Structure 1
Amino acid sequence: MIRLLSIFVLCSFSLNAKSISSNDLRSLYSKGQAHWPAIQTSDGRRVEPMSLLPVASPKPEHVALGDKLFHDVQLSRNNTVSCATCHERDKGFHDGRTTAIGIDDQVGTRNTPAIFGIDQWQSFFWDGRASTAEQQALMPIANPIEMDLDPKIALARVNKDKSYHAFNKSAFNSSTLTTEQMAKALVAFERTLAAPSSRYKTFLTQLNKNPQHAINSLSDSELNGLHLFRTKAKCMTCHNGPLLSDNQFHGTGLHYYGRRFEDKGRYDATQNPEHIGQFRTPSLLGLMQTFPWMHNGLFDDLAGIVALYNHGGVRPRPRKSQLNDPHFPKTTDLLIKLNLTKQEQADLVAFLRIL
């Protein structure tokens, strides 16, 4: 397992953390988020502050049907794999593997994304090939490595199964479903899935009620990590808002272009050469429950990740045979050298661990 890298920890800074004592920092942050130092980003963009994910309220009848579908192996060619196979409840609806394992034990090339905050995403999959949750819901069924079944055949199986009739009637007032209704029910269930419980979620909940109590729940190291995350490290350039993701695609240098583990990322969805090596910014919520990280699941050490980004990220150089390749991917300019001290890196890791 490669022990380096995984999230967009970006950086530089104006408020020098070393110039603020722990007591002063605690006093500053105890005044509530509206009074915190301004969020700093590597390109000056304005971003959303930290906030809790909104709670969705889909129709219970749709949720019940979606729950049944999500756990039904009939949706796979040989009745061995369900959506829940790769999205396990006790792992934040992630699978804990480097890359997903589907039908006939076939190994995929990408890490399984956790499921939560469905309504907050603007695209789906690491390469954004689905633009809606309903579109995404049916794609794993058809994928030959995942469930390998024509969704129309899956639908026919479900409609033939008498155990579904009461669910279908309750949800859509019909004994049978359409493909669109099957997707709608699956998404309704997914909308109820919350991000894994974490100290960060508790912290944000307390922050809205009693800021001082919330800040006092953090150690000095975690508090300084929060400050760095928002300022000097400029992590919120890409990790912001309720998802701690900007919903954008960036090239972080992890494309392995022309090498083992090559993955062209968003290019696979758009066929635009400018998108080679770009991947959707992952959410950092439930970080410690959803490792290993990154699109290829090859990274499992936060200290190594922070150290890597502290040096400006990954910037692969073309091999001799690639020198004239106009499509060799470029690493985003949002990644810059940070100049974080060893202690600052440790503090940032301490904060990341509570997410």
Structure 2
Amino acid sequence: MALRVIPLIICALLAFSTFANDNLRHMYGKPIKSWPTAETADGQPAIALAPLKPKAPLATSQQIALGERLFNDPLLSRDNSVSCASCHFSERHFQDGRRSATGVRKQVGKRNTPPIFGIDHWESFFWDGRAQSATEQALKPIENPIEMDLPIADALKRLNESPIYPSLFKNAYGREDITSPMLAMALVAFERTIPPPKSKYQHFITLAETLPEKAQSMLSDSELQGLHLFRTKAQCMTCHEGALLSDNEFHVTGFHLYGRRFEDLGRSEFTQDVKDIGKFRTPSLLGVSNTGPWMHNGLFTQFRPMIEQYNAGGFRPKARGSKASDPFFPVTTPLIEPLNLTEEEVTALVEFLNIL
């Protein structure tokens, strides 16, 4: 008798799975504004998913070409050994694939290199937000002692004495005497042309604006389930929202190693505010399958362990030893909470991340 029941159970499960998939396709075959409401840990509305597009007019072709040349020129490093492109590879969405960035004299920093795209969408730059604009950010790696280690005054001297750059700057900006604002503007002119990752997701979300029914047919059942989980049960849009898939905010995610060998105080190093200890800017998830390792310190190299960590409620280190009574010990954000995702749901979420 039991042997007869097993096929019936299997048929029932398959029928339920087919119904669930059809239901998801019906929901996501509608315009984006009619999709199920996104679920967030704090109950706040999330910015709707959308294609990533430039917000402002691009620079002239001369300015862009100049910026690209500067971006790839090791002349802007103290020993002429590295350029911006040394840590930002075009084939990896302008990230380097290393756990931490490597600069002049093979010096290794303590933070992971972020990819470059969506310049107009960021409200601050670097993991700790120490630059408030793209032009402010552009010059900091040049003068950073463990990155390119060249004072801006020296960089300008090299450029002004160069046999090629004065005329290039004159063609681009109308003057030969090169200044730091001109250098920053040229670099940003190029960086603003860097497109979002050419991914299945970017194609899908662009098509979903005008042809939602055709767009949902692009996704496999598991990818579609992953999209739905990303927006609902997994609460990913608490922090990863909008076109950029980032809330532009700073959070304590628990990986600061406070009081330990590889301690990183995060945003507080810039703000000098103890409330910001251990906070880091939410990264974009666009192109995430090609920008690992992940987190500010490159801790994770695979999606599943990372998702399982969040599924369990995140990493919540305890103050021990000499830090047991430290009032500044950073507390992991309450926005990260247990999600109760099943193994099948974790797999679906991984598949969705792979198409971003």
Alignment TM-score, normalising by the size of structure 1: 0.93
Q: Which residue of 2 aligns with 1:5?
A: none
- Structure with the greater alpha carbon radius of gyration: 2
SS of the residue corresponding to residue 251 of structure 2 reads strand
Q: Which residue of 1 aligns with 2:8?
A: none
Q: Which has the higher contact order (CA 8 A, sep 6+)?
A: 1
Q: Distance in 2 between matches of 1:187 and 1:99?
A: 23
Query: How far 1:165 moved relative to its partner?
Result: 2.9
SS of the residue corresponding to residue 353 of structure 1 reads helix
Counterparts of residues 76-87 of structure 1 (less than 5 Å): 76-87=77-88
The question of whether the paired residues in 1 share the 8 Å contact of 2:38 and 2:232 is answered with: yes
SS of the residue corresponding to residue 162 of structure 1 reads coil
1:23-74, Cα deviation, whole Å (9 max, x unpaired): 1111111112122101111101122111111235222222111111111111
More moved, 207-216 vs 303-312: 207-216
Is residue 2:307 matched to residue 1:302?
no
The question of whether the paired residues in 2 share the 8 Å contact of 1:64 and 1:167 is answered with: no
The question of whether the paired residues in 2 share the 8 Å contact of 1:118 and 1:190 is answered with: yes
Provide closer, same or farther for how the CA distance between residues 20 and 121 of structure 1 changes in structure 2, counting only shifts above 3 A.
farther
The question of whether the paired residues in 2 share the 8 Å contact of 1:196 and 1:285 is answered with: yes
Query: How far 1:20 moved relative to its partner?
Result: 6.3
Counterparts of residues 113-132 of structure 1 (less than 5 Å): 113-132=114-133
Query: How far 1:260 moved relative to its partner?
Result: 2.6
Provide closer, same or farther for how the CA distance between residues 20 and 295 of structure 1 changes in structure 2, counting only shifts above 3 A.
farther
RMSD: 1.4
SS of the residue corresponding to residue 355 of structure 2 reads coil
1:56-94, Cα deviation, whole Å (9 max, x unpaired): 522222211111111111110011111111011111100
Is residue 2:184 matched to residue 1:183?
yes
Q: Distance in 1 between matches of 2:152 and 2:52?
A: 31
Q: Which residue of 1 aligns with 2:97?
A: 96
Q: Which residue of 1 aligns with 2:221?
A: 220
Query: How far 1:18 moved relative to its partner?
Result: 8.1
The question of whether the paired residues in 2 share the 8 Å contact of 1:196 and 1:289 is answered with: no
Identity among equivalent pairs (%): 53
Alignment TM-score, normalising by the size of structure 2: 0.93
Q: Distance in 1 between matches of 2:266 and 2:246?
A: 17
List structure 1 runs of 4+ shifted beyond 6 angstroms: 17-20
Q: Which residue of 2 aligns with 1:196?
A: 197
Name the amino acid aligned to 1:72.
D
- The number of aligned residues is 339
The question of whether the paired residues in 1 share the 8 Å contact of 2:166 and 2:178 is answered with: no
SS of the residue corresponding to residue 65 of structure 1 reads helix
Q: Distance in 2 between matches of 1:176 and 1:68?
A: 18
Counterparts of residues 91-170 of structure 1 (less than 5 Å): 91-170=92-171
Q: Distance in 2 between matches of 1:114 and 1:271?
A: 26
The question of whether the paired residues in 2 share the 8 Å contact of 1:119 and 1:191 is answered with: yes
Point out where structure 2 has 5 or more consecutive residues left out of the alignment. Answer: 1-15
